[in-house]
Amino acid sequence: MSAENTPNTPTTDSLPNSETTDMKDEAIDPKAEGSVDQNNDQAESEAADTAFPRLIKTFMKRRTHLNKNAEQALTDPVYAKYIVNTMDDRGQGIIDDITDLRALFADTEQTSNGPDAPLTFEIGFGMGSSLIEMAKADPSRNFVGIEVHEPGIGKCAFMANEEGLTNLKIINGDAIALMQQLPENHIDRIQLYFPDPWQKKRHYKRRFVSPKRMEIVTRVIKNGGWFHAATDWEHYAFWMLDVLDNFEGLTNTAGQGNFTPRPDFRPMTKFEKRGIDRGHGVWDLIYSKD
């Protein structure tokens, strides 16, 4: 699907360098269910940034109900084979010692693929359902998911154990900070599905896809590897298309100016299907590293 022929093509006011008003449309966000008011969370997030200076956050840590299964996975040592790290006293995932994702699969008694198998890294997997489906469907590939929301981390680990997966690891923490300490040419595929669109213009600086952050992402992708993003926010879709099409070192696999049809390996979540049934668009972009 190209930017020229899609029926939902926005006006020039929708492009990332234009003066736009705040978007009011609701999106079907699989990670937002059960979240508290976004403005309150945003204020708390910015206050935390002031108290503990760090990179601008691309995520908003929501308070979400922790069910029994998720709580069990977060506290029972049985699930430690999936959850790589713990949190500090501020609730931040401790990632300082994670400098090699492939090393997480070195124990072949638990992870039969070993560290040299193709590696997919998912940023912000939400509650983990689609990540679990992908790991089940491609057992010869290793998967690492990173998330900041404890209910999602716990639920994903619980489901992984139920399925008996041996090719999945879960990290609690900030993906940008983690990637800065990983080796170059380290990951085969990085996927970013339905990230927070940060629809208000004053929050655009928090959007994950930006030239500065894509430098960090591209550095850790292997030559010939992929960056795959999907969103149900039209403005963010064309924002990403503009940023990525003009980013040196990446090539749009669907051709300049085009979106790609949803690939079979990306499961359609119930939230996505519900959105499509209501007339919402969904846009996929896949870029290969030159």
Q: Which residues carry out catalysis? A: 196
DSSP state of 205: G
Residue 252 · residue 285 · CB < 8 Å:
yes
Distance CA 81, CA 217 (A): 26
Whether 37 has a binding-site annotation, put simply, is no
Distance CA 93, CA 243 (A): 29
Whether 248 has a binding-site annotation, put simply, is no
Residue 145 · residue 172 · CB < 8 Å:
no
Whether 232 has a binding-site annotation, put simply, is yes
Whether 272 has a binding-site annotation, put simply, is yes
Whether 158 has a binding-site annotation, put simply, is no
Instruction: Choose among 82, 99, 103: nearest CA to 220.
Output: 99
Whether 26 has a binding-site annotation, put simply, is no
Whether 31 has a binding-site annotation, put simply, is no
Residue 141 · residue 117 · CB < 8 Å:
yes
Whether 122 has a binding-site annotation, put simply, is yes
Owner of token pair 């008996």: 164
Instruction: Choose among 38, 84, 87: nearest CA to 61.
Output: 38
Owner of token pair 């990670």: 31
Amino acid making up residue 52? F
Distance CA 188, CA 117 (A): 9
220: left (phi over 0), alpha (psi -120 to 50) or beta: alpha
Whether 215 has a binding-site annotation, put simply, is no
Exposure of 136 by Cβ count < 10 A (0-12 exposed, 13-18 middle, 19+ buried)? middle
Whether 188 has a binding-site annotation, put simply, is no
Bind-site residues for S-adenosyl-L-methionine: 122, 147, 174, 196
Bind-site residues: 122, 147, 174, 196, 200, 232, 269-272
Bind-site residues for substrate: 200, 232, 269-272
